[in-house]
Structure 1
């Protein structure tokens, strides 16, 4: 079943449910959707802009959860659609144009592709951009022999993810040999050595996905009893401050708003999950991109022509990423209070250097 709710602003809510909704459920939804009205029509023809049906939006996930908390059963998905104008710009990765809204609009009729058994692991690595090393490819070959069968595409792809530098930190934990001499410490050990030598106010470091330092004594405005309606009072508490740095480089490069938003989310998640739990206070954001070429009085940006970007140009990336990081933080009461931007490119006769993948 599906229901359409519209407003005078050209916005349409498309609700998909398992079964018919009762009059009580409809009245709850009208209250929830505020200015929306339930449409009598089940089919709308025209030009509309909405999310790709294969991608459930975070907004829909939140909206469905709200309906569940209101006692409305059977709601599967709620998505926002807009009347499309010819001059409307939109992100083709996330949204698409529709000419009709009906019962099949959000139906996903794609079937999984058949499993592929890979003959040439080296070739598959190159064609799919898995960045497997020669040692990893040889390991997979030996594993295939041990299992007495070819490995599947999903197995090789899965291995490339779980054994990636992002997950394993093979370089940071690796043995370094400089000028033929093996170094005493790995990169990670060098980083950790700073806190061992200068412990200062560190409470905890490198034992969780967040670090803690001693904070000041403050007055906390709190309740007398957490389990009953009760009065508030002030009490002195000794604080511990959580510190977390989160990088979300490639996701932000591909989809700036949500990539940066989930970067903020990962940082908040790790700090709230550390120790006995905490609450977010403030955040900071740092961006490093290639040249924006916004101003003509920057001669260092004019030595080369504007390039064609695989995903997003630096200006679009900075605007959307900044909005995304702030948006997610605001939902948890964590504003971004400072940050920095660095742009860099350097060309030689043989190579081009730049932050094409945003940092």
Structure 2
């Protein structure tokens, strides 16, 4: 079914636009104005008729919280001019974003069961103060400024999906098959290693060739070899650092990681967390922070002495991925399950004990820093006036930069480590 598109200009703050305009000026001094709008791309398996109850409900879900349903338009408000340029940036088509997953789930909960994907793109309408247009080099630099090339791309009239986000993707993939090592020998494994980019070393090829030919006595599938390649990847070889070290035939008393950790026995005691998986922390400093005097009712704020430690992480695979493009080494959910609990385990456990079976409050403070960035601070405390020890205390859950002070963005910031 044709993709529905809705446009809204009631999204971005003036400070956000001014910050982007200032950055664009560094690329092209002839840029004089900037207007922004957001476009929601809605893919559905069945048609959603205009002016129907389903479309009204869809508009109501997508509109800004303080705006009317009519604030969403079926057409863009931007009118092409001779001294202007339109650049639209959105998520790549080949995978659904977390935003889309949440939107589809909400749609299903309210009865819009045929909606299977919703993505949002940002449209930048750039005004120029001269007859000079943007060169291809300038436009490319602006796209680099506005988009993360790993997860986003420019939307153009040539690549914009009409009926489905998948229409520009390959129609078919190479099917799995058996690799004929029993009949063709080691050469078959060398060939598939080259064709599929498995990155097997000569040792790997010898090992897997003997495994399947002499031990398992069967041909492997390409799926199995992919699994072997991933299991043997650098990311999955942490066991190597705790393995036995044999140098010149002599087994060493300590493993590689043990030798590194032993350096702590001969240095200062400044560390508060030592080699907790891939992370450590050193003693920080005391400073003054602004805290409310009361948490169960509106109150004045006051300067409070706070102490924080400094955290460091060390990764040999700090490579961005589509799942975790910015934090890199977290490598998505798996990394969060490994690193976050290990690093903040003691602190989080302390907060859980304090909040156990108690009413708590959560405060979201939105502010703008000196660089005109929108910053959100997430704080929680115990909602119990009889608890003398805790009633004047608060705990910082998260601090992050946000694109706009909108409920969906604040929710993702609160729930995402």
Q: For the superposition of Structure 1 and Structure 2, which TM-score range results when normalised by the shorter chain?
A: 0.5 to 0.7
1:166 to 231, 235, 239: 235
Q: Aligned to 2:328, what secondary structure does the other structure show?
A: helix
- Seen in structure 2, the aligned counterparts of structure 1 residues 219 and 50 have a Cα distance that, compared at 3 Å, is closer
**Match in the other structure for 2:4:** 3
1:110 aligns with 2:171: yes
Q: Quick one: which of 87, 96, 120 aligns to 1:56?
A: 96
CA distance in 1, matches of 2:269, 2:99: 43
State the alpha-carbon separation in 2 of the partners of residues 54 and 25 from structure 1. Answer: 24
From 96, 120, 125, the equivalent of 2:193 is 125
CA deviations over 1:3-37 (Å, ceiling 9, x no partner): 21125757532122456435234223223596962
- Counterpart-to-counterpart distance in 2, 1:202 and 1:49: 44
In 1, distance between residues paired with 2:94 and 2:276?
39
Query: In structure 2, how many angstroms separate the alpha carbons of the residues matched to 1:151 and 1:110?
Result: 26
Aligned length: 278
Asked whether the 8 Å contact 2:285–2:307 carries over to 1, the reply is yes
* Cα deviation, residue 178, structure 1: 5.3
Query: Which of 393, 396, 399 is the equivalent residue of 1:333?
Result: 399
* Residues 143-191 of structure 1, C-alpha deviations (whole Å, 9 max, x = no match): 3233332112221122111222321136544555556655443332211
Q: Which structure 1 residue ranges, 5 or more long, are not aligned?
A: 280-325, 336-359
**Which residues of 2 match residues 174-185 of structure 1 at below 5 A?**
175-176=244-245, 182-185=251-254
1:297-312 matches, cutoff 5 A: none
Q: Deviations over 1:91-148 (max 9, x none)?
A: 5985364436533344567344311222322332244443323343233223323333
TM-score under structure 1 length normalisation: 0.55
Task: Give the counterpart of 2:153 among 95, 120, 126.
Answer: 95
TM-score under structure 2 length normalisation: 0.49
- The equivalences for 1:74-93 within 5 A come to 74=113, 75-81=115-121, 82=123, 87=136, 88-89=139-140, 91=149
Mark the CA change 1:76 to 1:104 in structure 2 (over 3 Å): closer, same or farther.
closer
Secondary structure at the residue paired with 1:12?
strand
Q: Partner residue of 1:29?
A: 62
Return closer, same or farther for 1:259/1:53 CA change in 2, 3 Å cut-off: closer
Q: Is contact 1:49-1:98 (8 Å) kept?
A: no
C-alpha distance after superposition, 1:316-340 (max 9, x if no partner): xxxxxxxxxx9999995258xxxxx
Question: Which residue of structure 2 lines up, in the alignment, with residue 188 of structure 1?
Answer: 257
Confirm or deny: 8 A CA contact 2:6 2:75 kept in the other structure: no
| Mapped contact 1:205–1:212 kept (Cα < 8 A) | yes
Q: 1:148 to 1:179 in 2, by over 3 A?
A: closer
Calculate the aligned-residue CA RMSD, in Å: 5.2
Residues 71 and 219 of structure 1, relative CA distance in 2, 3 Å threshold: farther
Distance 1:330 1:109 in 2: 43
Deviations 1:232-267 (A, max 9, x none): 899999877654234554448xx8x96444347878
Aligned partner of 2:369 in structure 1 is: none
In the superposition, relative to structure 1, how do residues 18 and 31 fare at CA in structure 2: closer, same or farther (>3 Å)? farther
Q: Is the 8 A contact 2:212 2:219 kept in 1?
A: yes
Change in CA separation of 1:56 and 1:178 when aligned onto 2, cut-off 3 Å: same
The 1:98–1:156 alpha-carbon spacing in structure 2 relative to 1, beyond 3 Å, is farther
Task: Kindly indicate whether structure 1 or structure 2 has the higher relative contact order, using CA contacts under 8 Å at least 6 residues apart.
Answer: 2
Which residue among 112, 133, 142 is the counterpart of 2:210?
142
How far apart are 1:60 and its partner, in Å? 3.9
CA distance in 2, matches of 1:223, 1:264: 36
CA distance in 2, matches of 1:327, 1:273: 27
Which 5+ residue runs of structure 2 have no aligned equivalent?
10-35, 49-53, 77-85, 126-133, 144-148, 181-187, 350-372, 379-397, 402-417
1:132 is paired with a residue whose SS is coil
- Equivalent position of 1:346 in the other structure: none
* CA radius of gyration, larger in: 2
1:12 aligns with 2:39: yes
